[in-house]
Structure 1
Amino acid sequence: MNTNIKKIAIVRLSALGDIVNSAVVLQFIHDAYPNATIDWICEEVFSDILQEHPLINKLHTINLKKFKKEKSFKLLRETFSYLRTLGEYDIIIDMQGLIKSAVVSRIIGKSTHGFDKNSTREALAALFYKTKSTIPYENNVIARNAYIISDALHINITHDMLLSKVPVFPIRENFELRTQTKNIAFVIGASWDSKIYPKEKIVKICDELQEQCYIIWGNNKEKETAQWITKHSKYATLAPQLSLSSLVAFISNMDLLIGNDTGPTHMAWAQNIASITLLGPTTTRMIYETPKNIGIKSSSDVNILKIDRNDYSIQDIDYKKIVKEAKELLK
């Protein structure tokens, strides 16, 4: 441990699942450096989930997505100017390892730490770091997150510590749910169509489990799919419209979550809720499996360095296998 470290900045801009899987390190940093302050820099669109986090001193948001969409160099200049005003940090840790996050880190200050050129998809990012960590890109994403923090701050985040973690995010809302049955959430959306499990099979799972099944949706297209599922299964209910913070609270009240490889599904692991993650074009590298957080992978071979977005093999996962695992977890 470096006792000189008093002010820490973490850069993790996007996406939602990456932020969920990164924020677990906050509790371990705080335990090792109880007198240090931790600031976090992220994309504005994902900031809600980190707002008012008790272990974050200041949350700084930027809007690179808006710049990319509008090509506004005025916005880019304003962003750079803002980053330069954040002050001095003893260490700035880029947990993302992309060129954009590396540039953001370097603008904030000189004491940057990130992945080396052989440990990330964008090797040029390593040019912006003062110190670097080496861990194969193919390794589990949460293990990588734990390692880069361990290496940067000279602490030891172990497997047992990850298993015994406290819930990552504070719960800010209460939901009145049924107590006569088990409450199961289904995450039906994903960033790619090839990550999405068929709605027809979700109906079969709901009918087999015969518990209270809430179908979570995040946009109009997902809402239409969710409504179709609720129409075809008497056990399925449309979940309310949820902000990121209320989604955390909702999932934290579940007995089980079943979902595609996407941010809301990862929230179950973060909050110590039992979960089944369904994987087609990706692998269990994307989750941290525990006795109550498991992945069910399709039969396709995946090259994690060159993911095939046209791999729709998730559709072939037998729904009966999901039902069997769900019943075991619900015990």
Structure 2
Amino acid sequence: MNQIKKLAIVKLSAMGDIIHAMVALQYIKKNYPNISIDWFVEESFSQVLQNNPHINNIYSINLKSIKKNKLEIFNQIKLIKNYSKNNYDLVIDAQGLIKSAIVSRLLGNSVAGFDKNSIREKSASLFYNKKVSIPYDENTIDRNVKVLSSPLDFEITSKMILEKEPFLFYKDENSIIYDYLDKDKKNIVFVIGSTWESRNYPKEKFLKIANELKENCVVVWGSENEKEKAFWLESNSEFIKALPKIDLNSLKAFISKSDLLIGNDTGPTHMAWALNIPSITIFGPTPINRIYQTSINKIVKSNSKVNHYKLDKNDFSITKIDEKIIIKEAKSLLYG
């Protein structure tokens, strides 16, 4: 394995999945201090990776642009083939999709990834010549670290993950975030949106949480729908502020300065875990083993049963979770 000097990691999306894979970087560098690591990612998520001292180069690609313009596929293939000139000793597809497998194969000849029984898009495994086996319904973080460590012939244990160093980094953040931090109160981040509406805890219940805790609650948002909810919350509580729209670099900085994050199962919520900031993740139709529960990172789950292989987007059980459960957890994390 000493011959692996140049490693390419392909993990294109989404934000939470990228974060869950990034935890492996600090351990790869401990085992192979001289290894050069490049990461290939969808352009919209590249800032999550930026300023990480363990990554040598971040290469943004834009496969999503192909949906709008089919001819764009030729530009993307040309771009990726050009990166193959970097002469990678090993390419690891940590995504397990056909598109990420194709990207990986275009980058190099030695490609590792999940075996066919460990991913949904089974044919992706045909592109790999080193295959990693771990059940699809295992913990998401464990899956990510295994596909990144096993091809390098070492193991990242659960204990190591629990003892991780924070691994999101920021630089030149938007200074406006500091206007929203309160020196006299606890600063709580609310993450109110996600990719599906059924994953969203009701804004009315976030309101009750803020009014009960009476601390400085700041809502972060990305979409227009989330913006509408954020400013509704602000207008209905003296304890809530809606942050202006900020980039991912500044979001990392803001979460790192907070005392607690309460949010849905979505990328920005997982930033708290990565930064070793206390958090409560609220789950409805998605499995709780997407994350690690720790002494400071808690989960609250609805009563519905989740099928890992077929998530139900019409499962709105998250709306039934009693906000008093979240308030109790928050008080425990904030005040001990």
TM over 0.5: yes
Are the equivalent residues in 1 in contact too, given 2:51–2:170 (CA < 8 A)?
no
Secondary structure of 2:26 counterpart:
helix
Which residue is 1:278 aligned to?
282
In 2, distance between residues paired with 1:31 and 1:262?
29
Q: 5 Å matches for 1:25-104?
A: 25-71=24-70, 73=71, 75-86=72-83, 87-104=86-103
Aligned mates of 1:201, 1:182 — CA distance in 2 = 19
Shift, 1:70, TM fit: 2.1
Aligned residue among 243, 260, 263 for 1:259: 263
Corresponding residue for residue 113 of structure 1: 112
Between the aligned partners of 1:277 and 1:235, the Cα distance in structure 2 is 21
| CA deviation profile, 1:285-319 (whole Å, cap 9, x unmatched) | 11111111111110001101000000000000000
Moved more, 85-94 or 48-57: 48-57
Give me the whole-angstrom Cα distance separating, in 2, the residues matched to 1:151 and 1:49. 24
What does the per-residue CA deviation read over 1:74-99, in whole Å, with 9 as the maximum and x for residues that have no partner?
A: x2112112212222111100110011
Q: Are the aligned partners of 2:7 and 2:89 in contact in 1 as well (CA < 8 Å)?
A: yes
What residue identity is the alignment partner of 1:283?
A: P
Shift of 1:171: 2.8
Quote how far apart the aligned CAs of 1:221 are.
Answer: 1.5
1:13 counterpart = 2:26: no
The answer to whether the 8 A contact 2:52-2:167 is kept is no
Equivalent residue of 1:267, what SS? helix
Question: Which SS does the other structure have where 1:20 is aligned?
Answer: helix
Say if 2:246 is the partner of 1:249: no
For residue 318 of structure 2, the aligned residue among 314, 318, 329 is 314
User: Per the alignment, in what secondary structure is the counterpart of residue 277 of structure 1?
Assistant: strand
Secondary structure, in 3 states, of the residue corresponding to 1:61? strand
Structure 1 unaligned spans of 5+: none
The gaps in structure 2 that reach 5 residues or longer are none
Q: Say which SS state the counterpart of residue 10 (structure 1) adopts.
A: strand
Aligned residue number for residue 149 of structure 1: 148
- Give the Cα–Cα distance (whole angstroms) in 2 for the partners of residues 181 and 159 of structure 1: 34
Cα shift readout 1:3-54 (whole Å, capped 9, x = no counterpart): 1110000000011111111111111111111101000001111112222322
CA deviation map 1:239-297 (0-9, x unaligned): 13210111011011110000001000000001100000000000211111111111111
Contact in 1 for aligned 2:24/2:149 (Cα 8 Å): no
- Cα-to-partner distance string for 1:201-236 (whole Å, 9 max, x where unaligned): 010000111111001111221111011111111111
Between the aligned partners of 2:300 and 2:120, the Cα distance in structure 1 is 25
Match of 2:208?
A: 204
2:16 and 2:47 map into 1 onto residues whose CA distance is 13
Partner-residue secondary structure (3-state), 2:137? coil
SS at match of 2:116: coil
Q: Does residue 224 of the first structure (1) align with residue 223 of the second (2)?
A: no
Structure 2 residue identity aligned to 1:132: K
Distance 1:124 1:92 in 2: 18
**Which stretch of the first structure deviates more once superposed, 77-86 or 266-275?**
77-86
CA distance in 2, matches of 1:323, 1:258: 10
Q: Please state if 1:192 is matched with 2:212.
A: no
Percent of matched pairs sharing the same residue? 52
**Deviation of 1:109 (Å):** 1.0
1:248 alignment partner AA: K
Tell me how far apart the structure 2 counterparts of residues 207 and 88 of structure 1 sit (CA, whole Å): 57
Distance in 2 separating the partners of 1:78 and 1:224: 37
Deviations 1:151-196 (A, max 9, x none): 1111121112111111111132365321211100000010000000
The whole-number CA distance in structure 1 between the counterparts of 2:2 and 2:131 is 20
User: C-alpha separation between the residues in 2 aligned to 1:52 and 1:291?
Assistant: 28
Equivalent residues, number: 328
Q: How does 1:163-182 map to 2 (within 5 A)?
A: 163-172=162-171, 173=173, 175-176=177-178, 177-182=181-186
